[in-house]
Amino acid sequence: MIKQRIPWFDNVKGLLIFLVVFGHFIESYRNHSHPGIILYLYNVIYFFHMPLFIMVSGYFFRPQKFKRIIQLLSVYLVWQIANGFLQKLIQDHSVVNLSPEGRIFDIFDPYWTLWYLLGIVVWSIVTPYFLRLRFPIIISLIFAVAISYVDHVPSWFSMRKLVNFYPFFLIGYSLAKKNVLISLSQKTKIWKIPIRWGALSIVAVFLVFMIFFNQLPSGTEFLFLRSSYSFFTWSILKGAVIHLAYYGVVVVLSISLMLLVPKEKKLVFFNKLGVNSLFIYLIHTNIVRVYREIAPEQLVSHKGFVILGAILFASIVCWLLTRKFILNLFKPVILPRLNWMIKQKEIHS
């Protein structure tokens, strides 16, 4: 049975995955002219793009999807090992090191963007238990503050990031459970102009706020949600207030952005990116690695060229990775069929 897709969410995911790719193309050049336009664009994107992506993932989470969890874990393991080899070949230009201390054996210490995939697996496993608690979101926020107060957290499982981003997953699930987005979507049909203007105002205020945020010396590091409060020289009280305020701002901003995206009409170009966002997410990083190695100095030495080049290459990469032959080529390692591994449910008479 083929599930009917919702254009609204595919449009949102398409816009987000494009921003992911664009952000990675400008990432290495964000400090060329601190605090310049490249850093501003990078911070704007990183302020909300992964939280919103995770909220959308939480929105569609349903307990008891064991097969999906195993499928994602299998995909993670394949790409984690593959990235170990590619990291050596692209950056070190040497044969893969298979010694016991080699990076390739750190299976659960995710490469670059793979923390998100591992996160979906872990969150999908723990969420049914969290949902049995009275206040799962509040408890997840307490865990986030607690782990951010601790100085030394193991890098395995990208633990600090997984705990810090988990509230967004639960918030997304809660928005689905309480039909918040559907209700707001219906109200936009009745109060289209006021709601649109309200959402636009929130986004405009955010863009102005980011001008000041861009001046902060460690602002970008905060957005990664991977450092302790002591890294920013914050007390637990100051850190907790800023941390919790960030969650609130991101949720309001994310809902505002979603309300500005077409709900029933498929966005040209972006809708297809949303449908195939996992393919783009997994494949594009190695293209970006190669780009960083071979990009001409004349291109990356000027911020205008960096931005235009990133827009151009992000568009080409996203378009290319949604071609049918690419999808068919990578489908076995991105959407593997695991019927050979997983027992089918027995039918009892």
pLDDT digits (tens, 9 = 90+) for 108-148: 788 889 999 999 999 999 999 999 999 999 999 999 999 99
C-beta atoms surrounding 346 within 10 Å? 5
Q: Is 101 exposed, middle or buried (0-12, 13-18, 19+ CB in 10 A)?
A: exposed
pLDDT digits (tens, 9 = 90+) for 184-208: 777 776 667 788 899 999 999 999 9
Residue 24 CA to residue 268 CA, distance in Å, equals 23
Note whether 98 and 208 are within 8 A (CB): no
* 266 token code pair: 């498929």
Note whether 147 and 164 are within 8 A (CB): yes
Give me the sign of the Cα torsion angle 48, 56, 323, 112: positive
Rg (CA), the chain: 21
| Alpha-carbon 240 to chain mean position | 23
pLDDT for 62: 87
* 77 token code pair: 């393991």
pLDDT for 243: 98
The residue ranges of every structural domain in the chain are 7-334
Query: Exposure string (b/e) for 235-246, b if CB count within 10 Å is 16 or more?
Result: eeeebbeebeeb
Average predicted confidence (pLDDT) for the chain:
88
Residue 238 CA to residue 242 CA, distance in Å, equals 6
